[in-house]
Amino acid sequence: MHRSKGFGLLELMVVLVISSLLISIAVPAYMQFVQRAKVAGAIGGIGAIALEIGRFQLRNNDALPLTLDDLGVEIPLDPWQQTYEYLNIVAAGPGNGAFRKDGNLNPLNTDFDLYSVGRDGDSKGPLSAKASRDDIVRANNGAFIGLAENY
């Protein structure tokens, strides 16, 4: 009797099951890693822009820029290819509803708001809103830069 060399159907099925299990574990872990890397990139971007704003203040008698265009440097897009959002709180004046607020509706900053709208590209004023949970925010006048859900 002559036996053929190769894999049988059972062996191929076992290999396919094991491969699909490994892929079902690896792909979500990889996607989570990519999102963490993008959040870290946005935190770095906000920190770099905040430094440029500080340089602007030093050159302009402690005045804040009205827009990011006033900085005179190229502002990159965030990792999700969205523009960073900026609001000069002092120039906007009291009663402006565009300020970023925490869950208790207290303003995050007293000088300026600077944030990324995050993965979903949507944002609302209070951080407790569902659309704002994935935002990367600058809070406490720069003492915190990170994911809104962690603030």
d(CA 55, CA 65): 11
Flag whether pLDDT at 77 surpasses 70.
yes
CATH number of 10-150: 3.30.700.10
**Buried-exposed string 116-130: b where 16+ CB fall within 10 A, e elsewhere:** bbbbeeebebbbeee
Q: Is the pLDDT of residue 125 over 80?
A: no
Band (pLDDT 50/70/90 cuts) for residue 83 is very high
Q: Is the pTM higher than 0.85?
A: no
